[in-house]
Structure 1
Amino acid sequence: MAMRLATCRCARLTVTCDGEPMRVSVCHCLECQRRTGSAFGVQARFPGTAVTVEGTFKTYERVGEGGLWARYHFCPDCGSTVFYENQDVPDAFAIPVGAFAEPDFPPPTRSIFEKRRHEWVEVAGEGIDRQP
């Protein structure tokens, strides 16, 4: 089994994930665009039992378009979001793929909030589950 390490920019907040992700998703929602400062977010979900968090973090909670909460946990020193939780996926953590800094990380299998996708963005790959 793979052990994967995700860190913030200053490496004071780390998340160790045991095993492969449950799924890797690209999200085009406006909140992910704002969170990342990009046209989309890419995250990997791991079971909560496979995740170990070390370091101090702050939490920002918001309610999404569907009425469910999301809790973002970020480094209080450098501001990087290192993991988050969504009400609709209990007992799992989402980790931004960029926090792993692994060029060979598994590719996404899901693309969500495609109604918010910038027309110049294309998520490539066979069998991508595309959701409006």
Structure 2
Amino acid sequence: MVTRIAKCTCGQLQITVEGEPLGVGVCHCFACQSRTGSVFAALAAFGPGYRVTGRATDYVRTGDQGAKFRFRFCPVCGTNLFHTEEGEDNRSVGVAVGAFADPDFPPPRDSVYDCRRHRWVQLPEGITVYDKDPE
């Protein structure tokens, strides 16, 4: 089984996940743009069984459809490393793809909030595009 470790910039906070991602996607919503300081967020979802080491600062944001997401940041360097959805029974985790520092990481399969995508951003061929969040 594949073990992956994602780390914040300073290395104080890290998350270890097992197996292949349940999904990999990009989000172009304004909240993700603001949160990452980029024009989209690249996230990978993993099932339960992940391990977190280090200290994190939390921030809870309510999504467009009412779900509450708890984002974890490193209090030292400010890296937004991972998030979970409040009240979600299976406890999957969304991890920032760039924090794995792996150029061979699987590519995104889905792109959400295409209505807010910067028009100069080119998506990979074959990616499923949603105008908003499909859930």
Whether 2:58 is the aligned partner of 1:62: answer no
Q: Structure 1 runs of 4+ off > 3 angstroms?
A: 87-90
Mapping of residues 58-97 of structure 1, within 5 Å: 58-87=57-86, 90=89, 91-97=91-97
CA distances 1:24-69 after superposition (whole Å, capped 9, x unpaired): 00000001101111110000000022x1111111100011122211
Mapping of residues 108-127 of structure 1, within 5 Å: 108-126=108-126
Give the structure 1 partner of residue 15 of structure 2.
15
Secondary structure of 2:60 counterpart:
strand
- Percent identity over paired residues: 42
TM-score by length of 2: 0.91
Give the structure 1 partner of residue 128 of structure 2.
129
Give the structure 2 partner of residue 103 of structure 1.
103
What letter corresponds to residue 55 of structure 2 in structure 1? T
TM-score by length of 1: 0.93
What letter corresponds to residue 74 of structure 2 in structure 1? C
What letter corresponds to residue 36 of structure 2 in structure 1? T
Secondary structure of 1:33 counterpart:
helix
How large is the RMSD of aligned CA atoms in angstroms? 1.3
Structure 2 unpaired stretches of 5+: none
Secondary structure of 1:48 counterpart:
coil
Cα distance in 1 between the residues matched to 2:31 and 2:114:
13
